[in-house]
Amino acid sequence: MTSPSGVELACMRRKHLRQVLVIERASYPRPWSRGLFLTELANRATRGYWVGLEGAEGGGEGPVLGYGGVMMAGDEGHVTNLAVDPERRGLGIATRLLLQLTVDALTRGARRMTLEVRVSNERAIRLYARFGYLPVGRRKNYYPDSKEDAIIMTVPEVVSQEYLEKLQTIAASVPGPTIVEQPTTRMPG
């Protein structure tokens, strides 16, 4: 496992999909297809998909380290996907991506955030808990491969000084530089 020298967060594009699909297949028992990613990418009005690219200083066109997406439904931002190259986990890449998904959702008018996670996915649950996600319910037998339940997790209020400060604290804890592609959606802090 090597630590990236820096990470650029860029909007996911078609050109990233080959690498995204390799990570997707290594991360989930029922990976999304290329077609599903393309459909999501076509819905730019309500979706924000981001990739983390190695090498913030070199223009960020290094390999894809991980990716994530958020879908807006009214004033709710729903995290649809978040995955990191298995060789690059534990380095804060998902943390950087989740920060960016949250900023993206806030920019699009989100007041709260939600997601579903497998009950057994302790690592992801810990990550979401650090971001203030609270378990609010369960979907029984949600995952067709294993019939496992999903926990529904929510941040009930993201538009507050307290939550902004939480995001800034998390951003400050991530080592190394993070560059965000679009100046309008910079990370806090």
Q: What residues make contact with ligand COA under the rule CB under 6 A?
A: 27, 66, 82-84, 89-95, 117, 121, 123-124, 126-127, 175
Nearer to ligand COA, 91 or 180 (CB): 91
Which are the contacts of 117, defined by CB distance < 8 A and separation ≥ 6?
124, 125, 128, 150, 151, 153
Residues 6+ apart with CB under 8 A from 15: none
Q: How far is the CB of 156 from ligand COA (least distance, A)?
A: 19
CB 111 within 8 A of CB 154: no
- Nearest-approach distance from CB 122 to ligand COA, in angstroms: 8
Rounded least distance, CB 88 to ligand COA, Å: 7
Catalytic-role residue among 49, 67, 128, 133: 128
Cα separation of 100 and 76, whole Å? 16
Nearer of residues 27 and 100 to ligand COA, judged by Cβ:
27
For the bound state, the minimum distance from the C-beta of residue 117 to ligand COA, rounded and expressed in Å, comes to 4
Specify the residue, 93 or 167, whose C-beta has the smaller distance to ligand COA.
93
* Best CA proximity match to 81, nearest among 39, 111, 110: 39
If phi over 0 gives left and psi between -120 and 50 gives alpha, with beta otherwise, what is residue 59?
left
Our CB check for ligand COA shows the closer of 29 and 109 to be 29
Which position among 116, 142, 143, 181 bears the catalytic label? Answer: 116
Looking at residue 45, what DSSP letter applies? Answer: T
Look up 133 and say whether it is catalytic: no
What is the set of active-site residues? Answer: 116, 128
